[in-house]
Amino acid sequence: DADVTQTPRNRITKTGKRIMLECSQTKGHDRMYWYRQDPGLGLRLIYYSFDVKDINKGEISDGYSVSRQAQAKFSLSLESAIPNQTALYFCATSAQGEGTGELFFGEGSRLTVL
Amino acid sequence: SQQGEEDPQALSIQEGENATMNCSYKTSINNLQWYRQNSGRGLVHLILIRSNEREKHSGRLRVTLDTSKKSSSLLITASRAADTASYFCATRGPSNTGKLIFGQGTTLQVKP
């Protein structure tokens, strides 16, 4: 089984709908992240969490919210989806501390907003 | 805005040749990392170089870092068709925030 699991892997929705993308991990990491990938723009950080009670905005948090329900779970919500939120979304984890800061990624959730 | 900018955006070479990708960044860093992404898949960590290191090797990968120029390069030697992927640099700031900021990536095609 994958260490970082994202659901759903693919989702097509309509403008105005509420969407939740879920991420769960078995790596025991404290830190979790949500990134968005658009062609030619690389990855941009949406939100990140260093602990269950810690939530931080990234570069592009407008239109998104997150919930850290447990150490292993971090969900991303689009309250009212719009077409320019069509993208590939990645959840990632990393270990706490000075360490490497290496990120471990899920396989992505492809979201299409019509 | 992205911290890193990568050059070239796309690279096509023959199997057996070396591939060099460059990354420039704007602010001070704790470390710089390179990731690989196969088409439509999640990113996979390749190698990390700390701000006090100048060169690092891992198998066929060689990474250099020049903090005075705020730039890094990734060299893949003796490339294989299986190396075809997108490669991203990512920088981690000096404050140990844990955030990584990614560049736009270089798409590498290795022709058999």
pLDDT tens digits, residue range A27-52? 999 999 999 999 877 899 999 998 99
DSSP label at residue A82? -
> A108 and B101 in contact by Cβ < 8 A?
no
- Per the structure block, which two tokens stand in for A8? 């759903």
What is the distance of C-alpha A61 from the center of its chain?
11
Q: Is the pLDDT of residue B27 over 60?
A: yes
Distance CA B12, CA A65 (A): 39
β-strand partners of A35? A45, A90
Distance CA B2, CA B24 (A): 10
Cβ contacts of B100 on chain A, cutoff 8 Å:
45, 101, 103
Q: Phi/psi at B54 (nearest 5 deg)?
A: -110, -25
- 3 state DSSP class of B104: coil
- Per the structure block, which two tokens stand in for B79? 């490339």
Per-residue model confidence (pLDDT) at position A102: 87
Nearest-CB residue to A42 (from B2, B30, B42):
B2
Distance CA A66, CA B50 (A): 31
Buried-state track A89-108, b at ≥16 Cβ within 10 A, e below 16: bbbbbbbeeeeebbbbbbbb
Enumerate chain B positions whose Cβ falls within 8 A of a Cβ in A.
Answer: 1-2, 4, 9, 30-31, 33, 35, 40-45, 48, 88, 90, 92, 96, 98-105
Per-residue model confidence (pLDDT) at position B51: 92
Under the banding of pLDDT at 50, 70 and 90, the label for residue A100 is low
Alpha helix locations (H) across chain B?
none
In chain B, the percentage of residues whose pLDDT exceeds 70 is: 92
Per-residue model confidence (pLDDT) at position B1: 45
